Amino acid sequence: MISGTLFMLVLLCGVEAGHAGKVLVLPGEYSHWHNMRAIIDALVDRNHSVTVLVSSSSPTVQHTRKERFDFNVFKVNTKKEEANAVWSDFIHLWMNDTATKYETVLNIWRVMSNFMLLFTDICKGMFHNEDLLHTLRESHYDVLFSDPMMPCTDLMVQKLNIPHVLSLRATFAYTFERLCGQMPAPPSYVPAVALQDHLTDHMSFTERVENMLLYIMHMTIFRLNMKFTFDPLYTEIWGKPTTMCETMGKADIWLIRTYWDFEYPRPLLPNFKFVGGLHCKPAKPLSKDLEEFVQSSGDHGIVVFSLGSMIGNLTLERANTIASALGQIPQKVVWRYNGKTPETLAPNTKLYDWIPQNDLLGHPKTKAFITHGGTNGLYEAIYHGVPMVGLPLFADQPDNLMHMKTKGAAVFLDVNSMQSKDLVDALKTVINNPSYKESIMRLSRIHHDQPMKPLDRAVYWIEFVMRHKGAKHLRVQAHDLSWYQYHCLDVVAFLLSIIALITFLFIKTCCCLFRKCFRNTRPDDKAQKSKKE
């Protein structure tokens, strides 16, 4: 007799069949790519064969380097330097505090138009290349793993007819998750995006009004943007009417790059898996000279300072303001900075072209982290329990730091307007006020106390869709409903019509009865009157 255990093993073996799968990756850029890279490494460790499909213009994915996975590079018209310039323009948009409002609007328009040109070039480079499509089809991949930061990646899923796993940081007002993924997000307690010093999951009436307006604004911009840019592009490539949202909504699993240590609690869907901080690792020992510098800080410890992979330098004026502030604290400072050395740089601060950020944050002498608030760096701070001073620049960074501030683990400043004193005060606060360390340690405990490590969870669900050829049992049927059906507006209209009809018939009947009674009495009255006469 085959015992129950054996039977279960047979069952599981069936599931595990074809374990080493073929993964096609369409990556994002900058920190998005660094985050996906951690998952790719873990997939390779588990013997999966990974191919990264990337355009020749990619500014971050170094496809000429030898890796443990393959690159498939498709040619596009845009040169790498041109793509670099578009991204660079985008960053400087947020750091240009001398531009007038009119100039800023014009700049945004110009940058967005350039992005659209770049994206269209990449999309067409992929889908107008029949040889590439043929090779991809013949390769019989088991899953496509992509970042919606790069458009058209979901169209590739449709072309190859394979399961799809998305990797994304929660979008503003949850537009992707709500409008394409069908995630409910009640505006009454799910903030669209954290604004300077307000909008958390605990809102006053005026904040809820503001939040509702933010939702409406984000939705309108998103819908208009899609209607006039990506939807026509998707329709052209696909050859029949479609939308970006419809295509993205077919994803099997959404890997969200946050977790409840960072997010305010809110509804989710069964195919949304939270994998924030998956790239974090225990700290490795520092290089000899860095360790010596760190140890020289004595009991005061060190401050780690980096503005992320996109920002290497600042204007000299800003750099001087910051350097002057750093000189006023008793800690030593490790500053990742590629620009011209500020004149006000004090002996306690050392500049580095590159720093082993994770190892430094995991060092017991680290007292604080000055960060731009990118999700990756922020999760390293949570992982190692280091309170933060935020200098947010653009995109999701102010929102990220707002989350940390309301959870008591960070203070943040406006990098363009702050003075030296502000930075000194902020650093002293997070280092000397024990509540910041306590708060970040609480978040760290939540982060470390999960049923499964975030990286393992990400790999698990990618393997799951390979094993089961998708995850349809986790995808809500809401995708098949129109917006008015989803909100039951047709049902409500029908029920209200029925109520109106019943009320109308009731009133009509009452009127008829009343009239009949009235008619019945009038002849009597007349009769009585005629009798009297």
Contact in structure between 220 and 138 (CB atoms under 8 Å): no
Query: Interface with a second copy includes 270 (CB under 8 A)?
Result: yes
CA gyration radius for the chain?
30
Judged by CB under 8 A, the chain residues 4 through 23 that form the site for a second copy are: 4-5, 7-8, 11-12, 14-15
Find where tokens 């990646």 sit: 153
Stretch that binds a second copy, among 57-65, 95-103, 138-146, 457-465 (CB under 8 A): 457-465
For Cα atoms 239, 243, 246, give the angle at the middle one, nearest 5 degrees.
115
Smallest distance, Å, CB 462 to a second copy? 12
**Within a 10 A sphere around the Cβ of 290, how many other Cβ atoms?**
19
x/- track of binding to a second copy for residues 69-98 (CB under 8 A)? ------------------------------
Judged by CB under 8 A, the chain residues 145 through 174 that form the site for a second copy are: none
Distance in Å from the first CA to the final CA of the chain: 110
Stretch that binds a second copy, among 130-138, 326-334, 359-367, 411-419 (CB under 8 A): 359-367
Judged by CB under 8 A, the chain residues 390 through 449 that form the site for a second copy are: 441, 444-446, 448-449
Q: What b/e readout covers 444-457, taking b as 16+ CB neighbours within 10 angstroms?
A: beebeebeebbbeb
Query: Interface with a second copy includes 268 (CB under 8 A)?
Result: yes
Query: Interface with a second copy includes 2 (CB under 8 A)?
Result: yes
Cβ-based nearer residue to a second copy, 317 or 449: 449
Smallest distance, Å, CB 49 to a second copy? 22
Cβ-based nearer residue to a second copy, 231 or 359: 359
The packing angle between helices 31-45 and 375-384, to 10°, is 60
Contact in structure between 55 and 74 (CB atoms under 8 Å): yes
Cβ-based nearer residue to a second copy, 154 or 261: 261
Judged by CB under 8 A, the chain residues 288 through 347 that form the site for a second copy are: 291
Question: Would you call 391 exposed, middle or buried from its count of C-beta atoms within 10 A (0-12, 13-18, 19+)?
Answer: buried
Smallest distance, Å, CB 160 to a second copy? 23
Stretch that binds a second copy, among 24-32, 89-97, 162-170, 452-460 (CB under 8 A): 452-460
Contact in structure between 167 and 38 (CB atoms under 8 Å): no
Alpha carbons 476 and 252: distance in angstroms, whole number: 10
Query: Interface with a second copy includes 362 (CB under 8 A)?
Result: yes
Smallest distance, Å, CB 257 to a second copy? 16
Three-state DSSP at 42 gives helix
Alpha carbons 264 and 343: distance in angstroms, whole number: 42
Q: Which segments of 385-419 does DSSP mark as H helices, in order?
A: 397-406
Cβ-based nearer residue to a second copy, 11 or 20: 11
Smallest distance, Å, CB 418 to a second copy? 31
Query: Interface with a second copy includes 204 (CB under 8 A)?
Result: no
Cβ-based nearer residue to a second copy, 172 or 264: 264
DSSP string, 171-202: -GGGHIIIIIT-----TTTS-SS-BTTB--SS
What number of chain residues touch a second copy (CB under 8 A)?
Answer: 77
Judged by CB under 8 A, the chain residues 464 through 503 that form the site for a second copy are: 464, 467-468, 473-478, 480-481, 485-488, 490-492, 494-495
Cβ-based nearer residue to a second copy, 11 or 221: 11
Three-state DSSP at 207 gives helix
Stretch that binds a second copy, among 172-180, 200-208, 331-339, 432-440 (CB under 8 A): 200-208
